[in-house]
Structure 1
Amino acid sequence: MTAAVFDHEGPWTEEEYLALGETRQRVELFDGSLHVTPAPTPRHQRISRRLGNILEPAAEAVGLELLEAVNVRLRPGRVPIPDLVITSPVDLDELYVEAAGVRLVGEIVSRSNAATDKVLKMHYYASAGIDWYLLVDQEVGALHLYRRQGRHCVEHSTAKRGETLTLTEPVQAAIRPEDLVT
């Protein structure tokens, strides 16, 4: 992948991006530019697994699918890789999940990606019509649930340590920050 990235000239097309294939790094496509981040920390991955373990049974109970770290096509040329998504059933062999079927996106905020998760991706997900955005702030041990309002997100609820975040849409689940962030 390295040679293909550094030898590339001009903006990236979605076809060129998908032709890179699977990589160890998290490589996302934002309007012709690649956004490359190192693999997440073990703490980040543990939080992701724990959150997935809570949300997966809730998703399955209503006929939805929970997936971790998959390409989500928001529109042509815009393909982020969220930490997890709850989506309608999809073809598990496709290269990406279409945003139209995504009901909730979850991101675990790390120091290296805080601005991307809190501003850029939040805006992109809302613009793509994804109704729910869940942020896990591992630095302070808080959960923030946002709901799409038009092309923007507004905070719907939040939970700090000792509190519970209750989801009623698109799934029913109760999440305590201390169950994820220790």
Structure 2
Amino acid sequence: MSTPAWDALPPWMQPPRPSGWEADDLDQVPDLPRHTELIDGALIFMMSPQRSWHSRVVENLAVTLRQLAPEGFDVDREMTIKLDKINRPEPDVLAVRVPFEPDRTRYLPEEVSLVVEVVSAESAGRDRVLKPFKYAQAGIPFYWRVEDEKGLPVVHTYELDETTRAYVATGIHRDQLTVSVPYDIGMDLTSLVPRTR
């Protein structure tokens, strides 16, 4: 008699209840891999190696947004947002309206003003369709999607339509990004990645 596939999983991969995983469970599982997200009750792992381009854009974007942030805003990277009981995605960069807390493990939607996803091959479908839908439904006011266009970052900006709870496109930014929301931001997008030879 063969062993069921379920029994072959490591213990930490087995849901703690018959109804599956919940958002608060991510704080309770000691062996959970870094960058684990919960989408519709399913654990999502980053399985492919991270590209240097993606890492550099995320790092430099977070630093630049933090330097430009006025009083009352803070910027974090790769922190989950507890959208509801079964959704806890991890955007690449977030601008938030709460003070820094060293032991924080997640944010709530009402604390977040902007989420940024830097698209990778592994996450493209989630970054372009699923996550913006969920962020909008949760009421997060601004969403940016960063795409790799011939090695340079291109930022697609969106603003929440409160009536429909859907994002409306507000611009596609190449080379320079200048916006007034969620706060005044002006940056040279070409500076987010090193020049290649």
With structure 2 as the length reference, what TM-score do the two structures score? 0.81
2:128 aligned partner, one-letter code: K
- Pick aligned residue for 2:83 from 62, 74, 91: 74
- Pick aligned residue for 2:57 from 34, 41, 47: 47
Other-structure match for 1:103:
113
CA RMSD of aligned residues (A): 2.2
Q: Does 1:16 align with 2:25?
A: yes
Other-structure match for 1:5:
13
- Among all aligned residue pairs of Structure 1 and Structure 2, give the percentage whose two residues are the same amino acid: 25
2:11 aligned partner, one-letter code: A
Q: Does 1:145 align with 2:157?
A: yes
Of the structure 1 ranges 94-103 and 6-15, higher mean CA displacement relative to structure 2 is found in: 6-15
Other-structure match for 1:156:
170
Other-structure match for 1:32:
41
For structure 2, the 5+ residue unaligned runs are 1-8
Q: Distance in 1 between matches of 2:115 and 2:56?
A: 17
Q: Distance in 1 between matches of 2:189 and 2:168?
A: 20
Q: Deviation at 1:7? A: 7.2
Q: Deviation at 1:88? A: 1.0
Cα displacement string for residues 40-62 of structure 1 (whole angstroms, at most 9, x for unaligned residues): 32221111111112110222x23
Q: Distance in 2 between matches of 1:107 and 1:23?
A: 22
1:36 aligned partner, one-letter code: F
Whether the 8 Å CA contact 1:138–1:181 is kept in 2: the answer is no
Structure-2 change in CA distance of 1:31 and 1:57 (3 Å): same
Task: Work out the number of aligned pairs and report it.
Answer: 179
Cα displacement string for residues 71-94 of structure 1 (whole angstroms, at most 9, x for unaligned residues): 111122210111010001243313
Q: Deviation at 1:24? A: 4.3
Structure-2 change in CA distance of 1:77 and 1:181 (3 Å): same
Larger radius of gyration: 2
- Pick aligned residue for 2:104 from 77, 94, 113: 94
Structure-2 change in CA distance of 1:50 and 1:73 (3 Å): same
Q: Distance in 1 between matches of 2:131 and 2:142?
A: 12
Other-structure match for 1:115:
125
Of the structure 1 ranges 137-146 and 46-55, higher mean CA displacement relative to structure 2 is found in: 137-146
Q: Deviation at 1:13? A: 2.1
- Of Structure 1 and Structure 2, the greater helix share is in 1
2:171 aligned partner, one-letter code: S
For structure 1, the 5+ residue unaligned runs are none
Q: Deviation at 1:21? A: 4.1
SS at 2:157's partner residue? strand
